[in-house]
């Protein structure tokens, strides 16, 4: 099923088959967006599409794509261009998390993480922001992490990739200042998703883990308000504000402590 080009607001969500991406798709459908859902697992996307259609009457297009493939972002963009479909809100949610020491983790795993978290996100942003600028209307929501503010041992590449997402988003906000195109970077803390489950960070007390639905709702509100950066959760926001005023040696020490204490 494909959203019609004349139907109104349309959002593209990557990593939509689970976690924050799935919850963002639900929030967007509830707010009358038609959707393009992108993830590797087509069957899960089709199930979600049927549910959103039944619950909200949402028109949904499903694109099965692995963003670890360098050709995937262009393929997604070209399919939508061929369909004459305008994307009003791009949600760059897809991401990988790899936990372990930098010196022993597989190089292929590290490069795959960077391909998804950095390269694909950059490519999709560049491809879709150009038509947004041309029509002077559009929104981008990039999902980073509180790890963007702290170099975290045993999550070195992941945290660095999220710092890139944060930096790029803030720079684009300046470039797009004065236009009606906005970029919002959402920074959740540890969230109850499949990405965290199975890692040491999933063993934290439940009070320290946010649910994906809450994160998605906060992210949607921040995006629609055109907020440049939003840290999800009051405790996370307070922690980030504290970090900003600390010397770099202390911030590094905090990252090391979080790794030893299995926080994130």
Integer Cα distance of 201 and 198 in angstroms: 8
- Is-catalytic flag, 245? no
Q: Pick the catalytic residue: 158, 164, 220, 245?
A: 158
Q: CA 225 to CA 242: how far, in whole Å? A: 25
Element of type H or E holding 91? strand 89-92
Contact criterion met (CB below 8 Å) for 10 and 36: yes
Name residue 39's beta-bridge partners: 64
Q: Are strands 60-64 and 34-39 parallel, antiparallel or unpaired?
A: parallel
**Which residues are 138's β-sheet partners?**
181
Orientation angle between helical segments 121-135 and 156-175, nearest 10 degrees? 10
Strand order in the sheet with 229-231: 60-64, 34-39, 10-14, 89-92, 138-143, 181-187, 229-231
Other CB atoms within a 10 A radius of the CB of residue 181 amount to 22
Give the active site residues: 158
């Amino acid at each position: 099923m494909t959203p019609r080009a004349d139907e109104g607001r349309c959002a593209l969500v990557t990593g939509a088959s689970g976690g924050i991406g799935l919850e963002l798709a639900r929030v967007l459908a509830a707010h009358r967006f038609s959707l393009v859902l992108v993830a590797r697992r087509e069957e899960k996307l089709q199930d979600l599409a049927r549910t959103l259609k039944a619950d909200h009457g949402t028109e949904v297009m499903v694109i099965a794509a692995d963003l670890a493939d360098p050709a995937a972002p262009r393929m997604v963009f070209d399919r939508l261009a061929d369909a004459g479909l305008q994307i009003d809100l791009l949600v760059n949610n897809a991401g990988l998390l790899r936990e372990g020491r930098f010196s022993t983790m597989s190089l292929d795993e590290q490069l795959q993480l960077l391909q998804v978290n950095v390269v694909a996100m950059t490519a999709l942003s560049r491809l879709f922001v150009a038509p947004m600028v041309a029509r002077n209307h559009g929104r981008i929501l990039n999902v980073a992490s509180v790890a963007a503010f702290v170099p975290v041992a045993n999550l070195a590449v992941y945290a660095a990739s999220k710092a890139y997402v944060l930096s790029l988003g803030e720079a684009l906000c300046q470039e797009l200042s004065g236009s009606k195109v906005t970029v919002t970077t959402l920074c959740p803390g540890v969230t109850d998703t499949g990405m965290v489950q199975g890692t040491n960070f999933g063993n934290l007390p439940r009070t320290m883990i946010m649910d994906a639905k809450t994160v998605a709702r906060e992210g949607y509100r921040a995006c629609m308000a055109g907020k440049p950066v939003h840290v999800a959760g009051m405790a996370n926001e307070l922690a980030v504000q504290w970090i900003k005023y600390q010397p770099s040696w202390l911030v590094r020490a905090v990252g090391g402590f979080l790794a030893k204490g299995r926080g994130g």
